[in-house]
Structure 1
Amino acid sequence: MLLAVDAGNTNIVFALLDDDLRIRARWRIATDPRRTADEYAVWLHQLLSLEGLTVQDVDAVIVATVVPRALHNLEVLAQKYFRAEPLVAGRGRAAWGIELDVEEPASVGADRAVNVIAAHALHPGDAIVIDFGTATTFDVVDWTGAYKGGIIAPGINLSLDALVGATAKLPRIAIEAPETTAVIGRNTQDQMLAGIYWGYVAMIEGLIARLKTEIGRPAKVIATGGLAVLFEKHTSLFDTIEPDLTIRGLGLLYQRVDA
């Protein structure tokens, strides 16, 4: 099986994929560049055991990371414990295989390129991929599969952290979908939630509209990331939600290399 590793700024996701790229299991751990290969191995050994698997069931590893300091220990993990030379997304044999039609192709985040690969494979045609992570990114892929650029905005949790951190009396609240569509809050917490949630919805709606106008052709809106489901309850912002888009993109990239 393939172990696909998506190392983001906040969390690292490990997922096991079978030969048909079906996800057998997935696990998440907080990103910490200081975490050693041995620590990862102990943690993964226990989780594999719960699935009735061992390290011998993993015969290949592919890694995408936007945290350069985390890469070395993940490579050591693959080499030492899985006896596999890891593929690093965007490098060597795991080169993207798509056109990065932007001014600085080398600066495109690995997660964004992998998302574009998966989005085009799953939903051919022009598309806008919105990834709700530490930052919220909007990526445009055209009908040929080329990455055309996009937008980087503060993630919803970053926005809340900035609001709470810069004020003396505002409390920390949980990010959740409001019970109603009302935007006039009757207490401090409801007013904060309305500002964060509906303010974010308005930003997403506005940016999607601007992107579609600039693209000039019909474009499907694909959402991914853990917070995407927050916006399903009260809006129709997205054509589809693909919670495992990055992992699926890693699987497709590996499959291309292995072919």
Structure 2
Amino acid sequence: MLLVIDVGNTNTVIGVYDGDTLKHDWRIRTTRNSTADEFNVLANALFSDKGINRKNIDRTVISSVVPSSVPILNAFCEKYLDLTPLWINSDSVKKLMPILYNNPNEVGADRIVNAVAAYDKYKTSLIIIDFGTATTFDAISEKGEYLGGAIVPGIMISSEALFQKASRLPRVEIFIAPERVIGKDTIESIKAGIIHGNAAMVDGMVERMTKEMGTSPRILATGGLAPLISEISKTIEKVEQTLTLDGLKIISNEVGNR
């Protein structure tokens, strides 16, 4: 079995594959000051709840944008799984996907993993939108090259900044899209601005990136708020919620553990 872990700034996603089948996956809060022993307690509880025998895990692959997670997860894998994890970076995937960034090492591991998974599935030009702590846009060529992309503040951190800086505006839940763009009260107006505004930003960015690419890319979305924005976006074609985990699995199968 394969254990895959993607460490993001806000959440960490964990998955266990049996062959090509994702048996179980979990989304937990990223903790920067935990220890390998504490992570083991958490992992053991997750595995036990789903009847997973950790002795059956014979490979592990990790992507992370949080540097402090590296020694923690390294120690966890080596101490409790007796495995050395494969860490994702531009070098580990260069045979699978050329990265046409000025400095390939600057590309986040999660963005690389998403690109590999999407191109493996669709084999065409793509724009991938990941709604995480930041909202990222990644462009993939018809040849399977990572062309580059764009990064904007994520929906949640943008909203949090609004609530903190505008003291008279109430904090609102933004997990249901409002029916109207023109709000009839303050709460409706905030929801409309955040949700419809981000959908319009996505559509505008997709239009401009598509023009620069000179192709007709498939438009995919992933991340926690992808289903919400995809409901009202005019350009998002499909939500792929396991894209990152699938990419880790593909890279592990193709590259293998070091």
Q: Above 0.5 in TM-score?
A: yes
Task: Identify if the C-alpha distance between structure 1 residues 131 and 91 changes in structure 2 by more than 3 Å, giving closer, same or farther.
Answer: closer
SS of the aligned residue for 1:193 comes to helix
The reply to whether residue 19 of structure 1 matches residue 16 of structure 2 is no
Residue in structure 2 matched with residue 242 of structure 1 by the alignment:
240
Residue in structure 1 matched with residue 146 of structure 2 by the alignment:
147
Conserved 8 A contact 1:36-1:73: yes
Q: Higher mean Cα deviation, 80-89 or 170-179?
A: 170-179
Residue in structure 2 matched with residue 5 of structure 1 by the alignment:
5
Alpha-carbon distance in 2 for matches of 1:35, 1:91: 27
Give the C-alpha shift of residue 91 in structure 1: 6.9
SS of the aligned residue for 2:32 comes to coil
Residue in structure 2 matched with residue 104 of structure 1 by the alignment:
103
Amino acid at match of 2:256: D
**1:24-82 CA deviation, whole Å, 9 max, x = no partner?**
11112211121111111111111111111222121111110000111110011111111
Residue in structure 1 matched with residue 256 of structure 2 by the alignment:
258
Residue in structure 2 matched with residue 186 of structure 1 by the alignment:
184
Give the C-alpha shift of residue 203 in structure 1: 0.6
Alpha-carbon distance in 2 for matches of 1:40, 1:30: 12
Residue in structure 1 matched with residue 49 of structure 2 by the alignment:
50
Alpha-carbon distance in 1 for matches of 2:230, 2:143: 29
SS of the aligned residue for 2:167 comes to coil
The reply to whether residue 222 of structure 1 matches residue 216 of structure 2 is no
Give the C-alpha shift of residue 103 in structure 1: 0.9
Conserved 8 A contact 1:100-1:147: yes
Please report the TM-score for the alignment, with normalisation by the length of structure 2: 0.95
Amino acid at match of 2:37: D
Give the C-alpha shift of residue 196 in structure 1: 0.7
Alpha-carbon distance in 1 for matches of 2:135, 2:105: 20
Residue in structure 1 matched with residue 199 of structure 2 by the alignment:
201
Amino acid at match of 1:127: L
Alpha-carbon distance in 2 for matches of 1:128, 1:54: 38
Superposition CA RMSD, Å = 1.4
Which stretches in structure 1 are left out of the alignment for 5+ residues? Answer: none
Conserved 8 A contact 1:130-1:136: yes
Question: 4+ runs of 1 displaced by more than 6 Å?
Answer: none
For these two proteins, the number of residue pairs brought into alignment is 256
Conserved 8 A contact 1:96-1:113: no
Give the C-alpha shift of residue 178 in structure 1: 2.5
Task: Identify if the C-alpha distance between structure 1 residues 143 and 231 changes in structure 2 by more than 3 Å, giving closer, same or farther.
Answer: same
Give the C-alpha shift of residue 179 in structure 1: 4.1
Alpha-carbon distance in 1 for matches of 2:123, 2:106: 25
- Equivalence map 1:65-214=2 (5 Å): 65-90=64-89, 94-97=92-95, 98-180=97-179, 182-214=180-212
Alpha-carbon distance in 1 for matches of 2:129, 2:69: 24
Please report the TM-score for the alignment, with normalisation by the length of structure 1: 0.95
Amino acid at match of 1:99: P
Alpha-carbon distance in 2 for matches of 1:257, 1:201: 36
Alpha-carbon distance in 1 for matches of 2:90, 2:142: 24
SS of the aligned residue for 1:85 comes to coil
Conserved 8 A contact 1:171-1:189: yes
Conserved 8 A contact 1:177-1:233: no
Conserved 8 A contact 1:59-1:84: yes
Conserved 8 A contact 1:177-1:231: no
Give the C-alpha shift of residue 184 in structure 1: 1.6
SS of the aligned residue for 2:68 comes to helix
